[in-house]
Amino acid sequence: MRDVSFGQYYPANSFVHKMDPRTKFLFLIVYIAAIFTADNFYALGACAVVFLLSALFSKVPLGSVLRSVKAVLFLLLFTALLNLFFYSGNADAETPLFSWKFITIWPSAVRFAIFLCVRLFLLVLGSSVLTLTTTPVALTDGVESLLTPLKWIKFPVHVLALIMSIALRFIPIFTEETSRIMNAQKARGADFESGGLVKRVKAVIPVLIPLLISAFRRAEELGDAMDARCYSGSNVRTKYKKLRFGWRDLLAAAVAAALLAGVIVLRVML
């Protein structure tokens, strides 16, 4: 559980850490758009280069970034298998690599499954760089600032930002809580690693119940603490740190624009 890096902040004095959180959030949106616009491996290679540069300039250990894939590894494998067995592609012009009863694997299916896995892999890695280099408070302040126009239609932007901040803060807390509960259950003889699927699901129930109780208790304590400090969440609240764009943000915007333009060119030309 400690290997899950999503929602955890890695403190460092780097180029990416000093960027405005609004720029990083918009950069991630453009990065995701470029990934889903790409339809060939050359375009995905350009996205991978941008990710490697962002990881390099963030000074975050590459292992910490790669650990974020563990949370979606099953989804990656499941998606790849589905496309491998059910994607036919241009079946009339290809010779199957493998055929047995109703299962037929085509060369285009292998390429598409690999392409899809690489796409999801880069998507998760790019998102993890954002959470590793941005504190939950800064991230929610950036989202609140970007959603400011919605206040004109009476949308509770501040409440949404507060919910997002609390959710991100509780991810590492519940990760540690889950690990602690599992260790306590193992000390009492619980077995989470052997047996079939049904047995493993039953073994997780003694973990989920105390975890839910702990979540409700922490939520109640947090609400009482906010009431004791007269928290109102009104629009007149000020910010301790003002968000300002700098030269780093302009450079990041140029890189994002170049990435999206390059992916579109590669999509049209190839």
pLDDT of the residue at 1: 47
Please state, in angstroms and rounded to a whole number, the distance separating the CA atoms of residues 254 and 270.
24
pLDDT of the residue at 257: 95
pLDDT of the residue at 258: 95
pLDDT of the residue at 107: 76
pLDDT along the chain (270 residues), means of 10: 61 91 93 92 93 92 82 80 74 68 75 88 89 85 86 82 80 82 81 72 81 89 87 69 88 94 90
pLDDT of the residue at 7: 58
* Predicted TM-score (pTM) of this structure: 0.79
> Please, is 79 exposed, middle or buried when counting C-beta atoms within 10 Å of its C-beta (0-12, 13-18, 19+)?
middle
Q: How many CA atoms lie within 13 A of 128 on its CB side?
A: 26
Rg (alpha carbons) of the chain, rounded to whole number:
23
Please state, in angstroms and rounded to a whole number, the distance separating the CA atoms of residues 187 and 209.
17
